[in-house]
């Protein structure tokens, strides 16, 4: 069982607080950050860590815990803010993000950060490892589930589709793939850089059960994730999100892929989040 089990209203408030932490974290980082990617996935990771995942900060070595893999490793800042909020490490560590010898490097590193299950950042690696973990769970008779969040731009990596073939072949219905489909990557739109549409048809063709949700609506995320049933197929949830969601002058803007708020932008963002 999840250590928190928050209500939908409590999850919404958690997401708001995590967004505030993201703004402050990135604005103080000596090496910048990926603000847009951090913000687009907030409701997804909030729903997972505060309601869905069978895990907790006191169970990071429990062999029966659910596993979460942050495959879009460049969104480490938002991931760290969620882990800190969930109690995996003190919030006092957040200002050290990307500093020398920090426990919070620019991409997730398992042996450095409590709660991180896999080193990620080189895109296309998270799903193949998640498939291996799901196979291992099946073979060992474990009821644990393996969750992995990918970016939609990340799906241009062929390793994801090789992994999908394996997942379907071995009927890994303990695997839940969540696509953060914010339709932006790097400095442009996915449709212009490398079009991945129609994603739902592609996943179904690979043998997946596909669901969709509004990825920046925590109630929609929770509703879909809680409805998934073991039926012999891996699950894919396409989460329709907005890159930079929650802050008007960041949302949907390609330039915020690797840009951080500075000066009065920080105050403006925090003001919006306080009254949103």
CA distance 117 to 108: 9
Crossing angle for the helix pair 8-28 and 76-85, to the nearest 10 degrees: 130
**How does pLDDT run across 38-80, given as a tens digit for each residue?**
999 999 999 999 999 999 999 999 999 999 999 999 999 999 9
Report if residue 116 sits inside a domain: yes
Report if residue 88 sits inside a domain: yes
Report if residue 43 sits inside a domain: yes
Report if residue 2 sits inside a domain: no
The first and second tokens of residue 2, run together, are: 């999840």
C-beta of residue 207 within 8 angstroms of C-beta of residue 170 = no
Scanning 96-157, the segments in alpha helix (DSSP H) are: 126-140
CA distance 135 to 138: 5
Q: At a CB cut-off of 8 Å and minimum separation 6, what does 156 contact?
A: 193, 194, 196
Report if residue 3 sits inside a domain: no
Strand spans (E) along the chain: 67-70, 146-151, 175-181, 184-185, 188-189, 209-214, 235-240
Q: Identify the DSSP state of 52.
A: I
Q: Which pLDDT score is estimated for 126?
A: 98
Q: Which pLDDT score is estimated for 49?
A: 98
Q: At a CB cut-off of 8 Å and minimum separation 6, what does 270 contact?
A: 20, 23, 24
Report if residue 53 sits inside a domain: yes
Torsion angle of C-alpha atoms 27, 91, 65, 150, degrees rounded to 10: 0
Report if residue 123 sits inside a domain: yes
Which parts of the chain sit beneath pLDDT 70?
Answer: 276
**How does pLDDT run across 125-148, given as a tens digit for each residue?**
999 999 999 999 999 999 999 999
C-beta of residue 69 within 8 angstroms of C-beta of residue 17 = no
Angular region, 98: left φ>0, alpha ψ -120 to 50, beta rest: left
H or E stretch at 7: none
Q: Which pLDDT score is estimated for 276?
A: 66
Q: What is the CATH number of the domain that holds 102?
A: 3.40.50.970
Scanning the chain, the segments in alpha helix (DSSP H) are: 8-28, 35-40, 42-47, 76-85, 126-140, 158-169, 190-193, 199-205, 218-227, 264-275
Range of the domain at 92: 8-275
Q: Which pLDDT score is estimated for 269?
A: 98
The first and second tokens of residue 30, run together, are: 């000596």
Number of folded domains that form the chain:
1
Query: 227-231: long-range contacts (C-beta < 8 A, 24 or more apart)?
Result: 228/176, 230/173, 230/174, 231/173
Q: At a CB cut-off of 8 Å and minimum separation 6, what does 226 contact?
A: 52
CA distance 117 to 137: 15
Report if residue 174 sits inside a domain: yes
């Amino acid at each position: 069982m999840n250590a928190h089990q928050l209500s939908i209203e409590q999850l919404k408030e958690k997401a708001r607080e995590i967004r505030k932490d993201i703004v402050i974290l990135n604005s103080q980082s000596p090496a910048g950050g990926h603000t847009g990617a951090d913000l687009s996935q907030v409701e997804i990771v909030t729903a997972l860590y505060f309601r869905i995942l069978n895990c907790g900060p006191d169970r990071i070595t429990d062999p029966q815990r659910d596993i979460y893999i942050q495959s879009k490793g460049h969104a480490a800042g938002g991931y760290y803010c969620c882990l800190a909020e969930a109690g995996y490490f003190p919030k006092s560590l957040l200002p050290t993000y990307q500093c020398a010898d920090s426990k919070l490097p620019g991409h997730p590193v398992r042996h450095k950060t409590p709660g991180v299950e896999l080193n990620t950042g080189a895109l296309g690696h998270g799903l193949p490892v998640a498939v291996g973990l799901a196979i291992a769970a099946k073979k060992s008779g474990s009821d644990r589930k393996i969750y992995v969040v990918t970016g939609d731009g990340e799906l241009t990596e062929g390793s994801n589709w090789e992994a999908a073939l394996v997942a379907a072949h071995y009927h890994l219905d303990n695997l839940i793939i969540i696509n953060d489909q914010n339709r932006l990557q790097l400095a442009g739109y996915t449709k212009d850089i490398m079009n991945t549409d129609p994603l739902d048809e592609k996943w179904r063709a690979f043998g997946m059960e596909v669901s969709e949700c509004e990825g920046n609506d925590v109630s929609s995320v929770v509703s879909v994730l809680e409805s998934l049933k073991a039926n012999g197929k891996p699950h894919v949830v396409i989460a329709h999100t907005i890159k930079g969601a929650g802050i008007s002058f960041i949302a949907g803007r390609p330039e915020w892929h690797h840009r951080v708020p500075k000066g009065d932008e920080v105050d403006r963002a925090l003001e919006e989040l306080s009254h949103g």
